[in-house]
Amino acid sequence: MTTETLRRRLAPVVALLLLAPWTAECSWGGFTLTGMPFVVLVLAPMYGGAALLIRETARRLGLGWPGIALLAAAFGVVQAGLVDQSLFNPGFLDDTEFADTLAVAEATSVPGLGFSARQAVDYVGNHVVLTICAPIALVESYLGAGRRARPWLGRPGLVVAALLWLGGSLLVFADDGGRKNFLASPAQLAVATGVALALVAAALLRHRHAGPSPVTRTPRPRSAGPTLAGPPPVGRRRTEVGPPRPVWPALVVVVAYLGSTVAPGWPGEIGRAHV
């Protein structure tokens, strides 16, 4: 393998590894330039490694974008419920610009489990959209149609991506600042684990019960002259449906957030979850 070929193969991998933490934490102003070392050293392995694993798993198994979204939701539950445990920590946002949202969050508190349905939709939804789906869609949009549907990594690369994700996650979990000196109860951790596993199972069931992949016919090559043999066999190739047009996800987000504003509390959150 030449150096140019290796660079071409690794370019989307590196791009996704670095873009995932930027869209997740920097695109909305979560970190300034002074926080970039932390983003690159800790968040890039955690977020970027997860995005690579999800993208590679979905493309290898043919799960499509619904499968990517389900695996992204599982990652969001793991991240918010098991790693930084923001889902169960009522004071997680106290030192941020979102501290004044606590009263609204408490209006959708889930009895016995100690978390807010509103914050669960926010935390998990942001990871689905910003951490996983958006960077994957952006990187794949710069590739040719053939490379969008194909895996980028072999087994060694998958192992490296898994180690990056696990290492970054352990760094955040082991740091009291990452968990804000909070530790969820065993029951809360069990609930988060169960939900994450259920989402992974739902994604994998798509692979088990999916029908045949859509195919397109390749054009028949034109012959320079008459041929004695019959027509050449018609080739087939798999096609991958790309991400939806940006206007539709944007419209869904606008409708969801307007609904939660007009109808706060449980009605608004039920509407957001269904949208």
pLDDT tens digits, one per residue of 81-131: 999 999 999 888 887 877 888 777 888 888 888 889 888 998 999 999 999
- d(C-alpha 70, C-alpha 224), whole Å: 50
pLDDT grade, residue 8 (50/70/90)? Answer: confident
- d(C-alpha 169, C-alpha 173), whole Å: 6
pLDDT tens digits, one per residue of 206-217: 766 554 444 434
Q: How many residues does the chain have?
A: 275
State the average pLDDT over residues 188-196.
96
Note the helical H segments in 216-246.
none
Q: Is residue 249 within 8 Å of residue 230, measured between CB atoms?
A: no
- d(C-alpha 264, C-alpha 275), whole Å: 15
Nearest of 92, 96, 52 to residue 75 by alpha carbon: 52
